[in-house]
Structure 1
Amino acid sequence: MSKTIIVSNRLPIKIIEEGDGYALQPSEGGLATGLASIHAQGKNNWIGWPGVFLNDPKQTTYFTSALRERRLIPIFLDDEEIKGFYEGFSNEVLWPIFHYMPNYAVYDLHNWETYVKVNERFRDLILAQAEPDDTIWIHDYQLLLLPGLIRSALPDASIGFFQHIPFPSQELFRLIPWRKELLEGMLGADLLGFHTFDDVRHFISSATRLTATNNNSNKLEVDGRTVFVEPFPMGIDSNRFAALSSDEHVLKRVAELKLNFGEQKIILSIDRLDYSKGILQRLEAFALFLLENPAFHKQVTLYMVVVPSRDTVPQYRELKDQIDRLVGNINAQYGSYDWYPVAYFYHGYPVAEIAALYNMADVCLVTPMRDGMNLVSKEYIASRNDETGVLILSEMAGAANELIDALIVNPNNVHDIRDALLFALNMPIPEMKRRMKSMRAIVFKFNVQHWATLFMNRLEEIKTVQSTTKARLVGTTIETQIIDQYKHAASRLLLLDYDGTLVGFQDDIDKASPDDQLYRLLDTLEADINNHLVIISGRKHSTLEQWFHNKPYSLIAEHGVWTKEPGGEWRLKSGLSNAWKGEVSALMESFADRTPGAFVEEKSFSLAWHYRKVQRDLGPLRAHELIDSLRDYSAAYGLQLLDGDKVVEIRSAEVNKGRATLDILHENRYDFILSIGDDRTDEDTFQALPATACTIKVGTEVSAARFYLKQQRDVRILLQKLAT
């Protein structure tokens, strides 16, 4: 029976020091909660670090056994590995870059080498557990190399990866010296998940610019394998927080807090100590609010909880000092003997106390400078069973894309936050309830269990699609069948596209001329008396004439406008008109003039706008604009638009490769038909041929062809086997 292997930096249960020994303690956090239902199923297990390195072998053996009984498989990292892998590369390179704080990044080669080593250790532990049908779900920025490492060892594995922090724009990501290795590691997954569509867009941009990867919408083609990149906004265990809000002990604590603060309005702020959380800007905005709104003095308190984190690191220690000073200044300037504007607490709290704070607060202020999702905002909403309370949320948090009824602010704009505070504190109850009700519906529907189930179901769908596609790949079995049919056929038709099929693409279209090896291969195929070899191309007839004028092949040029039989003359298809060319040519030239690298190719009865040399992303953008502009001409003149591989072509609707193919079939009968092509124009050929024909698409796109080959060079290998 197959299982799911969850892999994360930390296990959901950690080993902690207790007295003179150690003990197991559950880890708090959204990931542990979200994956609990997945982990509980069948024989699924979870691999991760238990939070401590045990020097005593007996202790290591004991806790390894205790954790494995719960299907938790620990990887014990020593102090040097934690320093280089986690504190070093993960938090001194990836964390600041991914949170748009590049000035905090420290590029240390030793830390990178340790990061690689620890990812390899995770791989080895996974390989010791994994069986052929298992699914492997890897989590977060500490393990970016792991999907690729597993893919190399298990090519057919089902691998998912989810990133819990933002993914930066490619301009920032490319600052990392080891950017390509990180991308190649991530691309080992079948499904890459992020919190927001912006993160998806940024990842695809980096992958296509920094690696040899092509994309089609949210699908990336990697070594003949399709990688899907999609957003999966993470939720929380909303029912848990709703239940806590009705708990007797929590309600008692809420009453105590309200008694302590009397009639004051409470603004709640909860964060881990980190420069990405916008704590200083939040305090500055609150100070500005107090300066400009003296009527709220003694009427409002900012209840600020900062959870300690890495305060031995210089930047974090400095941030802690700045917070301390700013809180002191605000309380000194605006406070009095019976009121402190900021109630500041520097320590963590158990979840029951957090739930009480959520229920006590009139306003929750969540203003990170950059955040993957931010679950505090969702926890606050889930806790408000009476549908009161106001959420002020940074537009830089992933949650802002879902919680649109919050007061959305720019965390860098203290005036924006000040205005939101004033609006929140004066918000009428009906509006407050309307906003909160809408947000609660979202938080309860898209909870953490929904997130986990959605991701796993999507990964299963993708593997099903991949397995269906794989069945059509021309592997050993299908190749043997094709060769056997070829050998036993008395009359054969070979329909071969040119660019992208017989030769690879060139930036300069005039450089894609046949090489000596191709001439010899085609000559050998044509020399067989049972073969009828046809080169069917979108190229100009003058170009094919130049390349094959002395060859005994049948030639079809410009998708069927021109045809030539061996020893004969070029024949033009009748009934075609060029009346449209002048207007359309002027339009296409205008697009070429403002797109460096683009050019227009004129054929007898078609025009092609090529963008092979255009900057990546700009070419497809201009091509889509051009297609929109050409639609009116297409309708007016009865023309057909083709969006090909780095080319937009417009031509008479009476001409296509399918019609040219039907003309050939009308004149002859064949025992065996082989058709190979690589782009959309070849689909007309595939569709025109009988179901028994051997149709092959070059590439992995969805196609009417029965089979596919991964790359252009595989075409020559197959043809060579047929020839010999």
Structure 2
Amino acid sequence: MDTTAHTSAAVADRPKTSPSTLASGFAPARTARPAESSEHETPRRLVIVSNRLPYRFEGDGAGGFSFERSVGGLVTGLGPLHEEAGNLWIGWADAAEGLADEGRAALDGALAERACRAVFLDTKDAKRYYEGFSNSAVWPLFHGFPHLARFDKGEWEAYRRVNERFRDAVVAEARSGDVLWVQDYHLMLLPSLLREALPDARIGFFLHIPFPDYETFRMLPWRGEIVRGLLGADLIGFHAYDYVRHFLSSCRRIAGIENASGTLMADGRLVQADAFPLGIDYERYRDAARTPAVRRAAAEFAAEKGHEGCKVMLSVERLDYSKGIPDRLNAYDAFLDRHPEWAGRVVLVLVTVPSRENVGSYRALKKRIDELVGLINGKHSTMDWTPVDYYYRSLPFNQLAGLYVASDVMLVTPLRDGMNLVCKEYLACHDGDGGVLVLSEMAGASSELHEAITVNPFDLEGLVSAMEQALAMPADEQRRRNAPMQHRLARYTSRKWAREFLDAMDETKRRQEGLGARLIGPDSARRMAEAFLAARRRALLLDYDGTLVPFSGEPAHAAPDAQLLALLKTLGTAAGTDVVVVSGRDRGTLESWLGGTPAELVAEHGVWFLDRNRSGWTLEEPLDDAWKDAIRPVLAGFVDRTPGAILEEKDFSLVWHYRMCGQELAERRVIELKNALGELEGSGLALMDGNKVIEIKPNGVGKGHAAHRWFRDPSYGFLLAAGDDRTDEDVFEAAPANAWTVKVGGGPTRARFALRDCREMRALLETLAKTAG
């Protein structure tokens, strides 16, 4: 048995084509390198591309620069990989906007020593790209605050120009075999820009914020460009599966691209979307928490602030409306109102890290937080107790770790968060010990840390109850809850996250290469044309919908155009050439559309035959249609319950179409319908899955059975069978070994070759027609 027979047929990304290539309708098919050859090659270089570089820097006044390693989840996760020899990090040098050319040259040299490459931006574009589109449109929309989003065309155009500037920087540095890993929402157009410039590159993309549901994402005027930009990557990563699901839904609804288990076919190229939850450097926090310096910092904090005898609830967040800081303060105020017994026995340490202070909405948020802290302290304070200990600054690592160690409860209750690593850092600092994590179910981390006390951050009563539960939780229950979370985090570190993503990208490329090897390129097309010309008799068995014409939401709207009719006539009148259209269409439609051509027609997947002499339709074998009376009401009921569904009745089959239905509803209805018709087995009927259709027909009727009429004829020296869906697989399976079998579009197939779409299929037939002429 041919072990490649059940692999997926797809089309690799189309490279730049010459005029002669375009005329013939084929793009060159790239030859996949054998996977086993990789061990003999130079190790691949990783090029990380992000909005910012992993270093903060400033000039020293003497032409030099001082550098400090940035902190944060991205640098923590990718830092170890960046430090490996030969790897490179490309990012915006935002602090260098005022430098003259010689200053930028000096900075380039200093960054090169740290394996970094700076991208310099026009000052106006930088502001519109970063503060504008990235953080005034994408950030609020993707976090579920559409009322705060600003959609400005000028800012969008700046975003596009900056992404193009990043493309130029990457292309200038890229080498053959590099892995290009693009990071986050600032650069969502970059994957497709890189794909156009570097068609064979390994490109990954990771989104570090949530991807919104379709109903929210569709508000973005440039949603289509964003989806297509991301689809330039080979692998698209998200923190949580919910975000993957939302992205896939938008791909279908906006770009019309379906998926199978997260695999999409974009422009004939396989793209994978999957979830990779970002971890932390667990050992760093665990070990730091045990050092004398951090233990001392924790003890000094309690002593200096007069917190002895108080339970400490800690909140550490960057200043942002998505973090839910005011909601947290309101809940704490309500908790103190309802539980006066905790007065003097608990303190909330609120650390708010400055962020985007030049943005008006952030300044307003800072003012609101200040007012709430003042209100709570003014309302509840006593002479020797202040309920909120407020810090508006970033903290050094040891001081932050000390706060984690000193805290009894960690409040992580964002309104929406892509992942949130603070909760993981807290658990690492309490390794093997107690401490209570109160975690928002709206944070990506909640899918991993389900042993925490999870809360709806919009539910004030729920937050109050969670605070009470956390403060009263016994130490043994704290350790019992924490242990599985800590073990999980210790295993799935930031380094493992990065490695798993890169391994998944390698696997995606292997799948692409396996698929792309069977594309019909110039060599295959030439060999096919030579075989066609050499044969005395030829048979071309062609499916109709999805093969000769694109699909239409309304089946009646897929009539052939004049060009297709002329093509079938040219082929059908060529000496020794029989053209057969084998379709699921009913005989009346086929004859009205194609009756004027010399093509033989096969209707209803092999029920009816009409030869080229048009001597009348004949049945392959006697069939009974009495069964339809029992099945028709079932299908009609599903049409009524499924907006967009259509019931089509043919002579000997019933067809339920769901191309125009919403995907989620259609998927549910398909399962229900199959269950409802589950008793067909043994009834002489078969249920057939097609492309967005379910068809019930007599058992034993199929395109493969019908094709035997031509496949068994030894006088044919050339056989071509082409189709696009599950019904055509029977034809491919029945075809003799020397037949040219062609799958149009992506998906698993038994065909030997593949083409991307109807346009390429028509181009192939045009080539054969010219050969025949």
1:63 aligns with 2:107: yes
Q: Is the partner of 1:261 in helix, strand or coil?
A: coil
**Which residue in 2 is equivalent to 1:320?**
366
**Which residue in 2 is equivalent to 1:562?**
608
Displacement of 1:181 = 2.2
1:204 aligns with 2:248: yes
Pairing partner for 2:350 from 299, 304, 313: 304
Displacement of 1:367 = 0.5
CA distance in 2, matches of 1:517, 1:141: 44
**Which residue in 1 is equivalent to 2:26?**
none
**Which residue in 2 is equivalent to 1:447?**
493
Displacement of 1:429 = 2.0
Confirm or deny: 8 A CA contact 2:729 2:750 kept in the other structure.
Answer: yes
CA distance in 2, matches of 1:109, 1:477: 46
CA distance in 2, matches of 1:212, 1:656: 29
Displacement of 1:19 = 7.7
CA distance in 2, matches of 1:11, 1:708: 43
Displacement of 1:636 = 4.6
> Aligned partner of 1:665: which letter?
F
Q: Is the partner of 2:329 in helix, strand or coil?
A: helix
CA distance in 2, matches of 1:548, 1:212: 29
Deviates further, 14-23 or 52-61: 14-23
**Which residue in 1 is equivalent to 2:257?**
213
Displacement of 1:51 = 4.0
- TM-score, L = length of structure 2: 0.90
- Summarize deviations over 1:426-454 as a string: whole Å, max 9, x none: 11222211110011122112211111111
**Which residue in 2 is equivalent to 1:162?**
206
> Aligned partner of 1:565: which letter?
D
Pairing partner for 1:9 from 33, 41, 51: 51
CA distance in 1, matches of 2:250, 2:559: 33
Displacement of 1:231 = 1.2
CA distance in 2, matches of 1:241, 1:608: 61
Confirm or deny: 8 A CA contact 1:14 1:51 kept in the other structure.
Answer: no
1:688 aligns with 2:719: no
Alignment of 1:525-540 (within 5 A): 525-540=571-586
Q: Is the partner of 2:167 in helix, strand or coil?
A: helix
Confirm or deny: 8 A CA contact 2:324 2:413 kept in the other structure.
Answer: yes
Deviates further, 99-108 or 332-341: 99-108
**Which residue in 2 is equivalent to 1:191?**
235
Corresponding pairs, count: 723
Q: Is the partner of 2:377 in helix, strand or coil?
A: helix
Distance change in 2, residues 1:718/1:174 (3 Å) = same
Displacement of 1:317 = 1.5
CA distance in 2, matches of 1:35, 1:397: 21
1:596 aligns with 2:638: no
- Summarize deviations over 1:160-210 as a string: whole Å, max 9, x none: 111111112222222223322222222221211111111112222223323
Displacement of 1:550 = 6.1
Deviates further, 390-399 or 621-630: 621-630
- Summarize deviations over 1:540-566 as a string: whole Å, max 9, x none: 233334444565543322112223434
1:144 aligns with 2:183: no
**Which residue in 1 is equivalent to 2:79?**
36
CA distance in 1, matches of 2:596, 2:350: 84
Q: Is the partner of 2:747 in helix, strand or coil?
A: coil
**Which residue in 1 is equivalent to 2:507?**
461
Distance change in 2, residues 1:548/1:204 (3 Å) = closer
Pairing partner for 1:631 from 654, 671, 678: 678
Q: Is the partner of 1:513 in helix, strand or coil?
A: coil
CA distance in 1, matches of 2:591, 2:125: 65
**Which residue in 2 is equivalent to 1:25?**
68
CA distance in 2, matches of 1:575, 1:378: 69
**Which residue in 2 is equivalent to 1:580?**
627
> Aligned partner of 2:255: which letter?
T
> Aligned partner of 1:479: which letter?
A
1:52 aligns with 2:52: no
Confirm or deny: 8 A CA contact 1:13 1:50 kept in the other structure.
Answer: no
Alignment of 1:286-685 (within 5 A): 286-549=332-595, 552-567=598-613, 568-574=615-621, 576-615=623-662, 618-632=665-679, 634-685=680-731
Deviates further, 656-665 or 349-358: 656-665
Deviates further, 155-164 or 258-267: 258-267
CA distance in 2, matches of 1:547, 1:12: 63
> Aligned partner of 1:112: which letter?
W
> Aligned partner of 1:210: which letter?
I
CA distance in 2, matches of 1:454, 1:669: 55
CA distance in 2, matches of 1:121, 1:193: 23
CA distance in 1, matches of 2:360, 2:557: 58
Confirm or deny: 8 A CA contact 1:674 1:694 kept in the other structure.
Answer: yes
Distance change in 2, residues 1:580/1:42 (3 Å) = farther
CA distance in 2, matches of 1:127, 1:553: 50
> Aligned partner of 2:632: which letter?
S
CA distance in 2, matches of 1:515, 1:121: 43
Q: Is the partner of 1:126 in helix, strand or coil?
A: helix
1:253 aligns with 2:300: no
Identity %: 45
Displacement of 1:619 = 4.1
Displacement of 1:465 = 1.1
Higher relative contact order (CA closer than 8 Å, sequence separation 6+): 2
Displacement of 1:624 = 3.8
Confirm or deny: 8 A CA contact 1:52 1:76 kept in the other structure.
Answer: no
Confirm or deny: 8 A CA contact 2:143 2:416 kept in the other structure.
Answer: yes
> Aligned partner of 2:81: which letter?
I
CA distance in 1, matches of 2:400, 2:704: 68
- Summarize deviations over 1:660-708 as a string: whole Å, max 9, x none: 2234333545322110011110000001112321100110222111111
> Aligned partner of 2:89: which letter?
W
Displacement of 1:712 = 0.5
Q: Is the partner of 1:505 in helix, strand or coil?
A: coil
CA distance in 2, matches of 1:279, 1:116: 33
Where do 5+ consecutive residues of structure 2 fail to align?
Answer: 1-41
Q: Is the partner of 1:106 in helix, strand or coil?
A: coil
- Summarize deviations over 1:225-250 as a string: whole Å, max 9, x none: 23222111111111111111112211
- Summarize deviations over 1:237-288 as a string: whole Å, max 9, x none: 1111111111221122122234442121111110111111111111111111
Distance change in 2, residues 1:273/1:547 (3 Å) = closer
**Which residue in 2 is equivalent to 1:234?**
278
Pairing partner for 1:176 from 205, 213, 220: 220
Q: Is the partner of 1:301 in helix, strand or coil?
A: strand
CA distance in 2, matches of 1:363, 1:572: 77
Distance change in 2, residues 1:667/1:151 (3 Å) = closer
**Which residue in 1 is equivalent to 2:155?**
111
- Summarize deviations over 1:447-500 as a string: whole Å, max 9, x none: 111111111111111111112211111111111111112122233222111222
CA RMSD for the aligned pairs?
2.1
Structure 1: 4+ residue segments shifted above 6 A? none
CA distance in 1, matches of 2:645, 2:693: 9
**Which residue in 1 is equivalent to 2:34?**
none
Q: Is the partner of 2:749 in helix, strand or coil?
A: coil
Confirm or deny: 8 A CA contact 2:405 2:430 kept in the other structure.
Answer: yes
CA distance in 1, matches of 2:332, 2:726: 59
Displacement of 1:212 = 4.4
CA distance in 2, matches of 1:149, 1:62: 29
CA distance in 2, matches of 1:415, 1:137: 43
Deviates further, 599-608 or 679-688: 599-608
Where do 5+ consecutive residues of structure 1 fail to align?
Answer: none
